Amino acid sequence: MRFARTLLLAAAFVSVAGLARAAGPEIGAAAPDFTLQTIDGKTLSLAEAAKTHKAVVVMFIATKCPYSNAYNDRMRDMAAAYGGKGVLFVGINSNKTEPLAEVIAHAKEHGHTFPIAKDPDNKVADLYGAGHTPEVYVVTPDGKLRYHGRIDENYEDASKVASPDLKNALDDLLANRTVARAETKAFGCTIKRV
């Protein structure tokens, strides 16, 4: 079984040439720890945050990507709604083309009061194998990755979302259920790496 999975992974790797980044953690595996400086000067440690919250949502975001920007309000609203339930939302900007000042202005403009950090040299994006924005990872207090993928399937119209995948994942976790759909995909803007 393990051999079959290794073969599958190898096939997936071989099939995508030009993919410079390594694959990220699998669902159920340990989420790579990281420590970053947030835009308000605080230190954010994933391991520490995970221990003190029911879940941490790590979101790779951007200031200029239309796909990421389409979710600005949803990020703000979900961070507020789930913050009251013990879930911490964290924004990470790994784009080399989007400087700190721009990230700060963007957060202010969109009412993003959850912790946001620049990811110098896209090291955290590399650890997770994050490819685009927005792309989210959910980590539980045991440090394990429980969800990876999109916020939902409809970036164009929040009122017509049919598959609220991140919300469903968080609801499953808060109810002590296994996440029913732990991996999803959507189009997004490629993270501009160094």
Partner 1 sequence: MRRVARAAALLLAASVLGAAEPSSPSGPSRLSGELDAAGLAARVAQEKGRVVLVNFWATWCEPCREEFPSLSRLAAAYRAKGLTVLGVSTDLASQLPGVEKFLAAQNPPFPNYRKKSEGDDQDFIDAVDRAWGGDLPFTVLYGRDGRKAKALAGQQSYAQFEKEVQSLLR
Residue 122 CA: distances (Å) to CA of 93, 94, 96, 116, 192? 8, 5, 8, 14, 8
Contact string 98-117 vs partner 1 (x = CB under 8 A):
--------------------
Exactly one of 3, 101, 175, 187 binds partner 1 (CB under 8 A); which one?
A: 187
Instruction: For the CB of residue 19, give the shortest distance to partner 1 in the complex, in Å.
Output: 4
Q: Does 156 bind partner 1 (CB under 8 A)?
A: yes
Angle at CA of residue 102, ends 194 and 67, nearest 5°: 75
Separation between Cα atoms, residue 157 and residue 153, nearest integer Å: 10
Tracing tokens 């989420």 back to the chain, one arrives at 31
Instruction: For the CB of residue 149, give the shortest distance to partner 1 in the complex, in Å.
Output: 8
Residue 154 phi/psi, 5-degree rounding, is -120, 90
Determine the size of the site formed for partner 1 (CB under 8 A): 27
Tracing tokens 């999803």 back to the chain, one arrives at 184
Among candidate residues 94, 75, 170, the one with its CA nearest the CA of residue 132? 94
| Piece of the chain touching partner 1 by CB under 8 A; list 84-92, 99-107, 130-138, 168-176 | 130-138
DSSP code at position 97: T
Instruction: For the CB of residue 189, give the shortest distance to partner 1 in the complex, in Å.
Output: 6
Exactly one of 20, 101, 175, 194 binds partner 1 (CB under 8 A); which one?
A: 20
Would you tell me which residues interact with partner 1 (CB under 8 A)?
11-13, 15-20, 65-67, 131-132, 135, 150, 153, 156, 163, 184-190, 192
